[in-house]
Amino acid sequence: MIELLKARGREFSHYTINHSYPHCWRCDSPLLPYTTSSWFVSVEKIKKDLLANNEKTRWVPDHVRTRRFGNWLENARDWAISRNRYWGTPLPIWRLPKATHDSRLTTHDTEVLGSQDDLMSKCQIRFTKVTMLRHAESEGNTIPVYQGNVPGTSLTKRGKEQAQAAANFLCKSPIINCQSQIPTVIYASPLARAQQTAAILAKKTGAQVITDDRLREVSFGDYEGKHIDFSDLTFVKERRAHKLDSGKPESIYHFDGMETWASVQERIASFLREILPRHRSEHIAIVTHADPIMNMRAFFSGTDPVKLSHQPYPQFSSPESYFWDHDHEAALDLHRETVDAIAWPGSEVKGQSVDVTH
């Protein structure tokens, strides 16, 4: 520009000014104000639907629906979701190179993935979907009694309805016309309530049922068959205080002679590490009991077992899913440093096209 002004005789003055320049406070990199393309959500096009759905949403406290959040929706504008900050939110959008008439140019299509199921459908061999659920309500749960030994009690009428509802849920694939997301195998505890729950799931899904003793209920020792008094709040408070003081992730209803969480954790980890490599690209279901499920949560999430043991017990026949990433031998991590490297044939990673992915 300066040379052009000089050539035209229009340069008025030419000198240098030294001034400060903005730098990142984390890494000291200069912040260059380049013009870049941006991504927006067309909020204006879906505002009516957003407002209608907000009316159906239960808010606590209730006034948030019409005031704070409702006012925000009323005045919402198109939402800029693209950011160049390191700590920005990753967008589930993959670039797909496509050929052009000019060999020197490359343009891109984009593909937006709406869920972890979508991601698994693109690079199946890398993932295993694991859905675990506690058995449905049994006769022993209604009394209630400690029941850790085989065979245990059978499902109640309500329990059979719970299991059927779970079976219907598992057959509703998150991906349209994708039957591969229905479980192919169901692993189950040997106790009757888990076996009967698994049988109802298998009848609906067509999955094979495999019994594994490592999924059994906790061994209650001398308390097997004894009545559980859930109304004794004094006892519950004392046991919870003891758990906090000892720092051990034992069940609140833990007694001398009862199987420890360390034992449950060991057999659950052994089970998962054995079966996961067998089921790459598959969706498997696991029907077991509350304490084993709490330990599975620790296995997949990496959360401290002591913290997990303070959470509410899993509800009867309520599925919860995790995606196991075989490349990292850990649950799928959607943070940037992991998800940025996931690709499939035809997509790009860091500007490089991908021919083969695992």
Residues 82-98 have pLDDT tens digits of: 766 555 566 777 777 66
What letter would DSSP give residue 316?
Answer: B
What average pLDDT does the structure give for the chain? 80
Pair type for strands 79-80 and 40-41: antiparallel
Does residue 104 carry a pLDDT above 70?
Answer: no
pTM of the model: 0.71
Does residue 267 carry a pLDDT above 90?
Answer: yes
Task: Pinpoint the alpha helices (H) of 171-213.
Answer: 192-205
CATH architecture of 116-331: 3-Layer(aba) Sandwich (3.40)
Stronger pLDDT, 107 or 160, i.e. the higher one: 160
Does residue 102 carry a pLDDT above 60?
Answer: no
Mean pLDDT comparison of 156-170, 225-239, 290-304, highest-scoring range: 156-170
Residues 155-189 have pLDDT tens digits of: 999 999 999 999 999 988 655 545 457 899 999 99
- Per-domain residue ranges for the chain? 116-331
Which residues, in sequence order, are bridge partners of residue 80?
Answer: 40
Alpha-carbon gap, residue 333 to 170, rounded angstroms: 23
Q: What pLDDT is stored for residue 354 in this prediction?
A: 43
Read off the tokens for 159: 């329990």
Alpha-carbon gap, residue 115 to 355, rounded angstroms: 23
CA angle 266, 268, 272 (to 5 degrees): 120
Residue with structure tokens 């459908």?
121
